[in-house]
Amino acid sequence: MAEYTLKNIPEEIYHRAQAAAEKSLRSLNQEIIYRLGKSFDAEDARVSALHAKWVMEALESGAAKPLKMADLDAAFARGAKRAAARKASK
């Protein structure tokens, strides 16, 4: 198992983690590993839900039709425009 030392932990986070560890009868190390695992699980669940949403939207959008080059170019242009707008707003 790999080892890693955390540095520069903000006091508030340290105290909250220590209190949570005591409440759950875990060591601070166990609590941090538990919390990291839960955050990755939550992220995985969000991504899975998003993928499921996309699949359902695709299934509900109707029958498949052949993609034409003009449709692909238009979709790419829309995506590039959105990316440029997002970049400009930052």
pLDDT at 74: 95
Residue-wise pLDDT for 2-28, tens only, equals: 999 999 999 999 999 999 999 999 999
Interacting residues of 9 by C-beta distance below 8 A, sequence separation 6+: 17
pLDDT at 23: 98
Q: Which residue has the higher pLDDT, 60 or 90?
A: 60
pLDDT at 42: 96
* Segments making up each domain of the chain, as ranges: 11-64
Name the CA dihedral angle for 75, 43, 46, 83, rounded to a multiple of 10 degrees: -20
The reported pTM is 0.59
Residue-wise pLDDT for 23-60, tens only, equals: 999 999 999 999 999 999 999 999 999 999 999 999 99
